[in-house]
Amino acid sequence: METKFKDIATVSELSKNEFDNNYYKPSIPVIIKGGANDYKAYKKWSPEYFSSLFGKKKVDVRTSQSGVYDYHKGSVSRVFLPFDEAVDYIKENKAYYLQQSSIPDNFPELLGDLDEPMWMEETDKNKVRNLWIGGVGCVSPLHFDGSDNFLIQIKGKKEIILFHPDDDKYLYPNVHGPKTLRQISLIDLDNVDHKKFPLFEKSQAYKATIGPGDILYIPLHWWHHVRSLDFSININYWWNRKNLRYYKYYTKAAVSTHTKRLTKKY
């Protein structure tokens, strides 16, 4: 059964007021084409630039022989490699991924290269800035985050498949797994088992493709599946704004009232 996708809204310019009223408040994703073209990271970052800063520095790299970084299946392990070696492996093999690595904690030398997205506010809380470097075919399986997210593409392309938070009743969260993994769906979007997950056909999927300089806004609790289409470097900003919209979705947290009723183990 073929999944039918809707497109994510795409804009070339976006003011703060337009973002707040058209996307943030109603919780709608949007692609800002070229939104990072003036960012220092976009202009400076490359494997060669990183090598000049971190060459032999040991970094935490995740590995998965399938290229799918699916934690609830226990298929992910970690190794510590010199940065240069890690990037060489990533270029050649999807089995290596520098994943969700905190820039302040692990790469403070890059802090001066960061430009905060203009749509954030000084009062926004829990700001997290991560570096991601992945090879062709590297996949983060379907999951949601408890924070708003700006995904900033520096090099390469990524494909992101998204679902609205209200579709969680069709997406089979891992409700019987450890608490930290309940935000991950049991569904393999590349090979959906419709007999095992019959409600999935009721969901509505959206698709976005972002390239160098693009920014994707992913509202909190929107489900997303991410695939690298090329060797890829990107930054993500997680952040929270304390308001009624945040608390509406936060109360759903990792397990909604719908998914709590799914008592069968899949």
CATH number of the domain at 127, please: 2.60.120.650
135 within some domain:
yes
Look up the domain containing 81 and give its range.
Answer: 5-260
Predicted local distance difference test score (pLDDT) of residue 49: 96
Closest to 93 in 3D by CA, of 63, 119, 72, 73 = 63
233 within some domain:
yes
pLDDT digits (tens, 9 = 90+) for 187-225: 999 999 999 999 999 999 999 999 999 999 999 999 999
Q: What is the pTM of this model?
A: 0.90
266 within some domain:
no
How many domains does the chain contain in total?
Answer: 1
220 within some domain:
yes
Strand order in the sheet with 5-7: 5-7, 205-210, 158-163, 223-228, 139-143
43 within some domain:
yes
Look up residue 137 and give its amino acid. Answer: G
pLDDT digits (tens, 9 = 90+) for 56-76: 999 999 998 888 887 666 678
- Flag whether pLDDT at 231 surpasses 60: yes
9 within some domain:
yes
Average pLDDT over residues 24-28: 96
79 within some domain:
yes
Closest to 133 in 3D by CA, of 86, 176, 169, 166 = 86
**Which pLDDT band holds residue 92 (cuts at 50, 70, 90)?**
confident
**Which pLDDT band holds residue 177 (cuts at 50, 70, 90)?**
low
Task: List all residues 6 or more positions away from 248 whose beta carbon is below 8 Å from its beta carbon.
Answer: none
265 within some domain:
no
